[in-house]
Amino acid sequence: MPVYEYKALNRAGKRLKGIVDADSAMAARHKLRDLKVFPVALEETSSKPRSLPSGQISVSSIFRRVKPVELSAMTRQLATLMGAGISLVSSLEALIAQITNPLLKKIMAHIKESVNEGNSLAFSLSQHPKQFSEVYINMVRAGEASGSLDLVLGRLAEFSEHREALKGRLRAAMVYPIIMSIIGVLALMLIVTFVVPKFVEVFSEMERALPLPTLLVIGASNILKSFWWVILLFLTIATIAFRQFIKTPRGKYIWDGIKLGAPIVGLVNIKLAMARFGRTLGSLVQSGVPLISSLEIVRNIVNNNLIADDIKGAMDEIQEGKSLAVPLAKSKWFTPVVIQMISVGEQSGELEKMLNKIADIYEQEVESQIMAMTSMLEPVMILVMAVIVGFIAFSVLLPILEMSQIVH
């Protein structure tokens, strides 16, 4: 059934806008009039973005998107409505009335109509892959198959909330160092390009050989003033080339290996991967998704080719009759703690509980480690800035000190 976007007036003359589903534009107008709403504009809409001429970018397509927090809130509300015994279509209708994001409202209207036509919720969600991930769709499919859709939706909301909370904490921990870095670089650029040249004019009048530190600072100042655009262009080209390289299969493998093997940061990336692995696999298994299907999904979203290859090897061995812990133990990226907890979970029949416990442990460790790194990074950045500024000040004052000694 088509979905129409309307602008209308109510009896009080107040402007309204929203969406309505109907068989035709005429039926949509009748439906609105029955609700005592008088349409002034009506247009059939789609949840998919309209195509634009080549080279044009829609501003609305940039800002009108579904945020993860909105998706989590929508999932939580749908779980609550269904848990109260309300049918799926009625729950979707009530949910659509509460959604404020226009794009999400349209998407949910299309999903409701698809469900109303006899399709499953999982199939309807799969028609919108940009908004609903493979994890989301498969968990809903398992919930429908087991008759516990409300419980699965609740777990999905918790899964999304855990993931976004971790991302938020990591972003918050990195804000101060990033701001300090930007301010530090701008301050150094200002000193070298504007302050140092003022002293160069004074030094040129001395007609004396300048010390090496002073010559180095003056040379750096002249390079930045004359060739700043070359440096900026080089950095831009290097960044674009690097991003293109890591998109290639070979480049992705090399970059993934660097991310896992780098000192200090590599350990954080491994723990973050273990947390993502545990949280996603635990949520899928707990929702009734078969283990092999769950591992296939996790392999696709783990975001590291080296770990994905180890998961693929584990899947092959599980299909031969082995447990999950045995093949994963051969991987150098899965820590002994993870292997041991998976093994205990398989033996006790509580694998999903142990996987979620793994995620809890490593999320806390990642957060603590990043907080420790950022707290150490702050004094190091201040010390580096102090050394650089001190060197510049020393280089500028050195010729003046030498002149004062000659005068005396």
Q: How far apart are the first and last CA of the chain?
A: 95
Give 10-residue mean pLDDT values along the chain (408 residues).
71 74 75 77 60 40 69 90 89 85 86 87 90 87 84 86 82 81 84 79 72 84 84 93 92 92 89 90 87 88 88 92 92 92 92 92 88 83 87 83 65
Residue 201 contacts residue 183 (beta carbons within 8 Å) = no
Rounded to 5 degrees, what angle do the CA atoms 68, 72, 77 make? 150
d(CA 68, CA 99): 14
Architecture, CATH, for domain 68-161 = Up-down Bundle (1.20)
Residue 19 contacts residue 7 (beta carbons within 8 Å) = no
212 burial class (0-12, 13-18, 19+ CB within 10 angstroms)? exposed
Tell me the DSSP string of 203-241: HHHH-SPPPHHHHHHHHHHHHHHHHHHHHHHHHHHHHHH
Q: Name which of 217, 209, 222, 208 is nearest 393 in CA terms.
A: 217
Give the per-residue pLDDT at 53. Answer: 41
d(CA 226, CA 218): 12
Q: Hey, how many other C-beta atoms are within 10 angstroms of the C-beta on 153?
A: 27
Give the per-residue pLDDT at 46. Answer: 53
d(CA 242, CA 79): 43
Give the per-residue pLDDT at 63. Answer: 46
For 251, what's the count of Cα atoms within 13 Å in the CB-facing half-sphere? 8
Fold held by 166-408: Receptor-associated Protein (1.20.81)
Tell me how far apart the 2 most distant CA atoms of the chain are, in Å: 100
- Tell me if residue 103 falls in helix, strand or coil: helix
Give the per-residue pLDDT at 297. Answer: 87
